[in-house]
Structure 1
Amino acid sequence: MSDIRMLSNRYEVRRLIGRGGMAEVHEGVDTRLGRRVAIKLLRSDLARDPSFHIRLEREAKSAASLNHPGIVAVYDSGEEKYTETGGSEITVPFIVMEYVEGQTLRQVLGEHGPLSVTEALDVAAGVLAPLEYSHRHGIVHRDIKPANVMLTPEGDIKVMDFGIARALEDTGSLTQTQSVVGTAQYLSPEQARGEVVDARSDLYSTACLLYELLTGRPPFVGESQLAVAYQHVGEQPAPPSSLVPGLPRDVDRVVLHALTKDRDERYQDAHTFREDALAARDGRPLTLDGDAAATQVMGAAPWTSAEPTVAFPAAPPPTGAMAAAPGPHTEMLGQIEEGQDEDRKKSKTWIWVGSALLAIVLAGLGLWIYAMNREPEIVTFELADVTDMEANEAEAQLEGLGLHVTRDEQPDDEIDEGNVVSTDPAAGTQVEEGSDVTMIVSTGPDSIEVPDVEGDTESLARQTLGDAGLTAGSNIEQDSPDIPGGQVMETKPEAGTSVPKGSNVDLVLSSGRVEVPDVTGLSEADACSRLESDDYQLSCSVEKVETNDETAGEVFEQNAPAGTKVDQHSSVTIKVAEEEPTQEPTFDPPFTVNPPNPSPDDEDDADNQGTGPGFGNGNGHGNGNGRGNGFRDSADAFGGLREFASRLWDSSASALR
């Protein structure tokens, strides 16, 4: 096969991004929708085994029935036929899943080592949230481990690989339909004993995961898978603080309580476990504080107010199936090294006891393998009619008959929302125990009325539309003089319109800005009235300018040009023309003043005063110095008259004005 191939004429298979014990995961592209996907393909060497086909089909159905942001979504599944080199044809099933950027916790631990207390507890809480959801919907994961949990670059947790998931109500043999039931390091005691699992088994596995996030290793390690399984059944884990000194006491309490062998004594649901993990992170009281028995952690001294910490026995280095257990084994091995004969006898006794326990475990595993390979008894019966029954009630009834139930939704104008429309196979059909049944659940009428979200913020409007069964579409920005920026002005289609369920509804959002109108050519009053009107709600600032180039009393300029967008309630300055003042005209004096004729007495003094006949015509015909001086004095007299005339003119002009 080429590096790039097509599945179902739709999915383009590209580079390999992961490989597991059963399947390979490739990056791919959904060519129909143009989106990036992850494609899980059953390994070709396992494609001839029907049991692996069943397991991959179960994973697709289990994950597809769960819609939670913490669970990797399944989009599609199918089968593709290939022709091998020898000419034989094989069928390879595949699952098309959500493509998730990030790393598995196994990769994170391998590259960075143990996490901090806060980080580890946050991750555990992130795993428990989708588990709480899947448990509510009747699905047990059964294989929680670091390789099946992804951490995205945004810090989100994604749980994946529901390949061996099973319904909570399934009371049949644990291994009737599959050969893999989990990974030894994270196996609950009831899984190791071959008992029926429930939600509390996932919580035990999550505690093993949290233990490794805190310490860098699982709670039990050994030389073989069988040795580890034995420890899960019969050994007590060392407190995390014995491997990482300084861990808070409440962290030890939460982890060890979740690792209790008896499932009735450990956390009973994912919600309580998650709340205690977050409480331990934040230093708040735990739910365990209300249970006096629960405060006695395995191997710990009683809690007292005088003793703020608990003394846990230190864990020895792991040397095999028995080496992971603290307590008497450590003393025994130390005394053997010292060569004490009495302790050698004790050591032999413990070896015989351990061998006997190991034989019991092996016998249980043998029965387990026998039950796994035994053909289940086929029981057929008539499928009950659950039409118009509430979906949860119908699902419980069908699963009580040993059927595996999945849900599909479709609108229906007659069946109430949340009730069953029909089943596939139809009611009355003969089915076998363990068969798959799909319930078609009504989503109510096919049309929905668009809710009124005017005045809401964008995020609130989108949430309201989503809650109503509609999809918030594009944002359309529109100017508004009074609606604050970012608030919804209207929807398209309008509120109250009936549209098909799931329809796109666009949001018209206020830009918080206003387009300035053109007020040039208007009077000052009209211009300000328009700017301050409800259509614009802008402030008007007036500046009067003296000019004869513009029409007096009209606006000839505005500081924000017409069409400019400004913030709501901004101030716009307009310039209003004023007529320039008229300049005063200048005129020559309306009359002239001649100098008076000299008297005879004055002529006698002409030589001394210069006011003699020389003034008369000023032609230089006077008598010597008297005439010359008379001309000069005449000029002085004329200058004084001009000042007088000027003052007289000013008075006349004032009177005229």
Structure 2
Amino acid sequence: MSEPKVLSGRYEVRALLGRGGMAEVHEGVDNRLGRRVAIKLLRSDLARDPSFHTRLKREAQSAAGLNHPGIVSVYDSGEEEFVESGGSSVSVPFIVMEYVEGQTLREVLNEHGTLTVDEALNVIAGVLAPLEYSHRNGIVHRDIKPANVMLTPEGDIKVMDFGIARALKDNSGLTQTQSVVGTAQYLSPEQARGEVVDARSDLYSTACLLYELLAGRPPFVGDSQLAVAYQHVGETPQPPSFFNQSIPPAVDRLLLHALLKDRDARYQDAYTFREDVLAARDGRPMSFEDDVEATQAYPMMAPPMTAPMAHAAEAEPAPETGPVSTIMSNQEERQPQKRSRAWVWIGSIFVLLALAAVALWVYEINKPEPIVQVEVTDVADMDADEAEAALIQQGLRVDRDEKYSAEVDEGKAIETDPPGGQRVEKDSVVKLIISSGPESVKVPDVSGKTEEEARKVINDAKLQAGTHISQNSPDVEKGVVIETKPGDGQEVDVDSNVDLVVSSGMVEVPDVTGQTAEEACKTLEGDEYQLTCKTEEVETDEHDEKKVFEQSATGGSEVKQGSEITVKVAKKPPEPSPSIPSIPGGIPTAPGDDDGGDEDDKDDKDKKDKDSMGGGLFDDWSEGIIGN
């Protein structure tokens, strides 16, 4: 059995949980923290396409910035080198996410069919709450569908897969190929037309999801994705009660309003949509209809008779059918009684009217002041004082708070709570969040640590361990950190890169030629190089005496720490012995060896010759030679 794959030396990949169009999701374990996680790996057949790397990276960035119980949390991301069957390696990005027990709504629909009206409305309210939060933080999901919503055993709702999410301020095209992004059955009309999407597009997709939970099918179906997209743009959907007669009219009206083609006519924010979902569930009027319209949607019942009216009906005699005389007689007998009773009822009516007038007067003088609502101004990127003044001018009270932000300049407004565009009561408190600039931390001192230890310390300090820079050092062991760039103790922004300068274990040899042996060894063995010096004298008359003319490792070359360097020092060679010159005519004979006077004469002549050639010098030299 092969050992499980471990990503970044930390995340152990286990059983496959599911596959999507872009990635596979595995169960995993964070060995460092000892917790279960879900690991999303880009499919290997897509790993060489940079656009899919970008999508997975965008998902990690989008979801990592959202901290909401209804959104699946992202813990970490990275890339891992995988070796393919052919032997080549490919870099595969991954995301480490919160592990959620439960089923997707797609699995629930496939196994159990449609939900009850209350169940469906509760689920959609649970989807709209995290969408309201993500929209408030500037993120549009763009792919709301049953497969991207989890239902836990406790009944909680979790929205996941921000793979094609996009910031609200990002006005770039949907894709490089201008293709439609999203799933056709849940596309908003503006998505189908290839227009820039906003938060209202998510609300349309959520309405399509509610439609399917109630009717068992999306509002539009077709033979192809293109056919479905055309219907989203140009056709009006059937009310869901057409497919499920148990759906009340209020839910029909809710969905048909949420599925309007014009995004300016349908729901403008998730908060209002959610409130109307709960209103439809509880039988209350919704935001887009007044009380009269809501009442007319239900069967009208005749008002009950009041007590005086009922008594009057009982007192009215039934018409008699007898002879004319009998009728006249009866009328004469009853006329005084009818008059008296009429005055009683007239008096009663006057009393009732007087009581009603008194009650109305009491109500008018005691009724509460009407609630005045104002729409919170969007103050994002305004100066703090300017933003506060704008809110106060609306009749709101302001509570300032600060928050670190790398995107918004220090001293400018980030957002308000409640967010801009939401309606609140006048004189209510609005929290104004002001940027205190990027969060800064001090670079930790990691000198003397191994590179692996240093990277962990830097990452734990909310920084990113950056480039490995190799540097020669005479005394720092190979693989040990010499310093960081920026240096330790410096204040930098959170998530800044900190490069590591790591010892190579090598020393660059200095050029000591031309120095004396003592000077050369002092240089090599000094603190800057800490090498071992060995001298060797060489007899030569081609270099200056007692000067280094050659070294075993040339200047500028690199050697291991503490290596021995041999330097050759010039030594003057000994003086050569004088050579014996040749004497013309041979060596003269010593005096006394001649046999006669002729020789004496010759000696005299030779003596004169010697004198003429230098006298004593020649005598000394010749005597020395002969004597020897």
TM-score computed with the length of structure 2 as normaliser: 0.49
Larger Rg: 2
* Larger RCO (CA within 8 A; separation ≥ 6): 1
After TM superposition, the score normalised by the length of structure 1 is 0.47
